[in-house]
Structures are given as structure tokens and as C-alpha cells.
Amino acid sequence: MSAEIVEATDATWETMIEKGEMPAVVMFYSPECPHCRTMEPYFQTLAERYGKVIVFARLNSAANLWTAERYGIRGTPTFKFFCKGRPVAELVGAVYPAMLEKRIEDLLEHGEECIRSSTAIDYEITGYG
């Protein structure tokens, strides 16, 4: 894996994604997922192309259950797009690479607009009692 894609974990998630200043695209994956392996080279190419203006991260949803559950990840790969730490869009499955790139371009063009119409993350709310 190159330096353009960072590996996120439950421990680094908040700092890296939710409190990050740059927009982010995260690929939630699992090691045994064949579709994740199919999408990896395309994700890498997009990271090389857009890595200066967007954070590209991967999160192993099998090893980081808290974050995967928090964001409702039910299948892999799931691509989530974040603006100012808030999720604004997602794509699920082995999507066409052109769809992934279009969503990235939309994030860059309209991300601020999306963030104004979304709800802030409440860090005090958890699913655990």
C-alpha cells in the first residue's frame, strides 16, 4: 500500500476522519472480500490522482467493529465520503471505477453545500448502554 492511502482504525478514526480538515473517502473492507481486492487498484489510482486534496483511507471492518457498526457498514467494500468529518455519501459494492471518481469529483465540488444540510456528529451518543 502506498503513502497515499492511510489505514484507519477505531483508535485513529476520530482524529483522522471525523476531526480532519480535508474531505475524505474511506473504503471499508474485509480481508476475505474478493470485491475489495478487485476495487483496491482503482482506489489506489484515485488516491494518486486526488490525494493532495482528499484523504484516502481504508478501514478493516472485521478488525474495527466499533467504527463499522457506528456507520452502518453491512457489506464490503463500502465507500463513504466525508466532508468536515460528516458522512455525505456512500457507494456499496464493486462499483464502476467511473462512479467512484464521479462521486469524488462531486465531493470536491459540492461538499461544503452538503455539509451545511447535514447534522453534526454528537460524540456523546453511542450504541452502548
Region for residue 116 given its phi and psi (left: phi exceeds 0; alpha: psi -120 to 50; beta: otherwise): alpha
pLDDT at 50: 94
In a domain, 121, yes or no: no
Q: What does pTM read for this prediction?
A: 0.84
Question: Would you say residue 129 lies in a domain?
Answer: no
Reported as a single tens digit per residue, the pLDDT across 13-61 is 999 999 988 899 999 999 999 999 999 999 999 999 999 999 999 999 9
40 lies in some domain: yes
CATH number of the domain that residue 43 is part of = 3.40.30.10
Question: Is residue 75, in this structure, part of any structural domain at all?
Answer: yes
Please give the residue range of the domain that contains residue 89: 5-116
For 1-129, where are the alpha helices, taking DSSP H only? 13, 34-50, 65-70, 97-116
Q: Is the pLDDT of residue 117 over 80?
A: no
Could you tell me if residue 80 is inside a domain? yes
Q: Cα-flanking dihedrals φ and ψ of residue 29, to 5°?
A: -135, 170
Read off the C-alpha cell for 70: 457506528
Contact 55, 17 (CB under 8 A): yes
What pLDDT shows up at residue 21?
83
Over residues 67-96, the pLDDT tens digits come to 999 999 999 999 999 988 888 899 999 999
Number of domains in the chain: 1
Q: Considering the domain boundaries, does residue 124 fall inside one?
A: no
